[in-house]
Amino acid sequence: MKTPLIIEQHFHGAYGVDFNKASKDDIILLAAKLREIGIGGFFPTLVTDSSENIKKQVAVIKEASKHCKEILGIHLEGIFINPLKKGIHNPEWVLPLTVENYKKIEDDFIKIVTLAPELDENLIEYLNIKGVKVQAGHCIGWINEGNTARHIDGATHTFNAMSPVSHRGVSTALAALIDDSVYAEIIGDGIHVSDDALKLFFKSKPSSRVILVSDALPITYSDLTEAVFADSKIYYDGKKAVSAAGTIAGSTKLLPEIIKILNTKGLFKPEYIENVYLYHKLEPNGEIEWDEDFNILNIKYT
């Protein structure tokens, strides 16, 4: 079986490289490691930080992209979230969802912004006009129903750090499941979402609207057992990475491994790999040949 190369649209680093701290050379070396495992494109994802450091790292990543075509743009996950659903993020750096605040870090290389729609102060409309993908995440709200001037393109790591499925009122997770117009990310690492919730997700979402993400941490595939991420010390026990308070920080697996996990549960479809290309209007730059258990047999770049 053959598919396009894998694209990671939501991950914070791997092999010890943290996009919030990395140098240009760090990122270029990371891209080379990712190519070896079939990841042919990625959106470096920045966690909540000071606007000064976000701006600096946007420039660093953009410079790295001049030497590395696999870097497709930046996913800005932090700054514009709801502190009530902060997860591992540091609420000290969260800013109101205004155009003025976005302009503090604005760059044409930012392609995805995760934000809390319930706190929007006209930022969503501005991002829509600019062609930036808007994803609801670290939030409790939703706005798409009946609203064409401001719209959400996707949901960030569905179920995690959002209001849960409920049979009363508005719920971000419920809206993400039933709104067939939006793409929805899901972390299938076996840690972030239970098997039953995964089954609900894959039954509810049209196959064409599923985006597999790893949300991988810099500690992923490194020899580190602890590290500072998002201003918090996190600890890796060989299975999951958590803060001192027990908050799950992010995944410690990348998508090739997650695909195998989902396949063993009968929940993987090859078209999930293609969806991210459609979402961002990208052309494949190679292909992967897989065996029947979704082990990679061959990687070809064009």
- Tens-place pLDDT, residues 19-31: 999 999 999 999 9
Amino acid at position 195, single letter: D
pLDDT of residue 170: 83
To the question of pTM greater than 0.95 for the whole model, the response is yes
Point out the catalytic residue in the list 179, 215, 223, 237.
215
Cα(103)–Cα(68) distance, rounded to whole angstroms? 26
Mean pLDDT calculated for residue range 153-176: 94
Residue 146 reports pLDDT greater than 90: no
pLDDT of residue 78: 85
**Of the candidates 168, 170, 176, 169, the residue with the CA atom closest to the CA atom of residue 193:** 176
* Model pLDDT for residues 71-111, shown as the tens digit of each residue: 999 999 989 999 999 999 999 999 999 999 999 999 999 99
Buried b (16+ CB within 10 A) or exposed e, 185-221: bbbbbbbbbeeebbebbbebbeeebbbbbbbbbbbbb
Which sequence spans correspond to the domains of the chain? 2-301
Mean pLDDT calculated for residue range 2-25: 98
> Are the CB atoms for 12 and 156 separated by under 8 Å?
no
pLDDT of residue 202: 98
- Tell me if residue 69 falls in helix, strand or coil: coil
Mean pLDDT, the chain, integer: 96
Annotated active-site residue 215? The verdict is yes
pLDDT of residue 144: 86
pLDDT of residue 169: 84
Q: What DSSP element (H or E) covers 186?
A: strand 183-187
Question: 286-290 and 296-301: which strand pairing?
Answer: antiparallel
Structure tokens at 300: 């070809």
Cα(143)–Cα(146) distance, rounded to whole angstroms? 8
* Model pLDDT for residues 22-60, shown as the tens digit of each residue: 999 999 999 999 999 999 999 999 999 999 999 999 999
Residue 181 reports pLDDT greater than 90: yes
- Residue 19 CA, chain-centre distance (Å), reads 13
pLDDT of residue 83: 96
CA-based angle 157:128:183, to the nearest 5?
A: 30
Of the CATH numbers 3.20.20.140, 3.30.300.30, 3.10.129.10, 1.10.1740.10, which one belongs to the domain with range 2-301? Answer: 3.20.20.140
* Model pLDDT for residues 200-253, shown as the tens digit of each residue: 999 999 999 999 999 999 999 999 999 999 999 999 998 899 998 899 999 999
